[in-house]
Amino acid sequence: MAKAFAKISFTPSVVKIQKQHGSDKVYSKFLAPDAQGGDQLSEGEAEFIGARDSFYQASASKDGWPYVQYRGGPAGFLKVLDAKTLAYADFRGNRQYISAGNMSENDRVSLILVDYPNRRRLKIWARARLVSLEDNPELVASLHDESYRARPMRAVILSLEAFDWNCPQHIHPRFTRAELEPYVGDLHAQIADLQAKNQSLKTKLSKRI
């Protein structure tokens, strides 16, 4: 945990409840004048982000109502442009445009990226900027993997405010088909070998009969 995260998250009302439950002493050090960090991505965060094929994004309307959206795409579709900037191509969906509308009037967003097999998650706070396909087609194209069959409508540029790694507690391991393939592939090979041997035995037995 670092100062940038604590500065955003530990509001007076949060600190008040921390005091009620006795955890304020644990977290107060992250608000100390000499505390620092948590506002620039390292190679470790960039590698983690680049391996993800999805994340959860929260935005809020002008009235304060939150909206959480699942974002999916090819692995690495959320790109780290530099230590303070991320971006992704925004694909066409159900055309409700709730996230886009929220971000157009309230640029604060937060993201949660989860590595389910290894029970790791990264939280990101940022300010979002929308760039339309018409205004900058080159930028949108640079963020889009042409092998992924989806139509990008805009680019979302995220200026990092803070990030924090969550503890693995309560993260249930889940595996995608691609993550299971190395293990399932071996099983398929073993099954095929057993089937071939079984067929060979049947053939030999039929000849004896």
Are 49 and 30 found together in one domain?
Answer: no
Are 147 and 194 found together in one domain?
Answer: no
Residue 58 has pLDDT above 70, yes or no: yes
Are 62 and 99 found together in one domain?
Answer: yes
> What is the pLDDT of the chain when averaged over all its residues?
91
Are 116 and 205 found together in one domain?
Answer: no
3-class DSSP assignment, residue 188: helix
Are 74 and 25 found together in one domain?
Answer: no
Are 18 and 82 found together in one domain?
Answer: no
Question: Average pLDDT in the 74-81 region?
Answer: 96
The 10s digit of each residue's pLDDT in 133-164 is: 999 999 999 999 988 888 899 999 999 999 99
Count the domains in the chain.
3
pLDDT of amino acid 184: 82
Quote the domain boundaries for residue 205: 175-209
The 10s digit of each residue's pLDDT in 86-102 is: 999 999 888 899 999 99
The 10s digit of each residue's pLDDT in 195-206 is: 988 888 888 878
Are 121 and 92 found together in one domain?
Answer: yes
Distance CA 115, CA 16 (A): 32
Are 25 and 125 found together in one domain?
Answer: no
pLDDT of amino acid 94: 82
Residue 166 has pLDDT above 80, yes or no: yes
Are 59 and 145 found together in one domain?
Answer: yes
Query: 């969906």: which residue's tokens?
Result: 93
Higher model confidence: residue 183 or residue 132? 132
Query: 């940038």: which residue's tokens?
Result: 4
Catalogue the E-assigned strands of 20-119.
54-60, 66-72, 79-82, 85-91, 108-115
pLDDT of amino acid 18: 94
* Model-wide pTM > 0.75: yes
Distance CA 14, CA 38 (A): 19
pLDDT of amino acid 209: 67
Residue 116 has pLDDT above 80, yes or no: yes
Residue whose C-alpha is closest to residue 82's, from 162, 156, 5, 159: 159
Are 119 and 196 found together in one domain?
Answer: no
Are 15 and 69 found together in one domain?
Answer: no
Q: What's the CATH number where 67 sits?
A: 2.30.110.10
The total of other beta-carbon atoms located within 10 Å of residue 114's CB is: 17
Q: What are phi and psi of 107, to 5 degrees?
A: -80, 0
Are 16 and 47 found together in one domain?
Answer: no
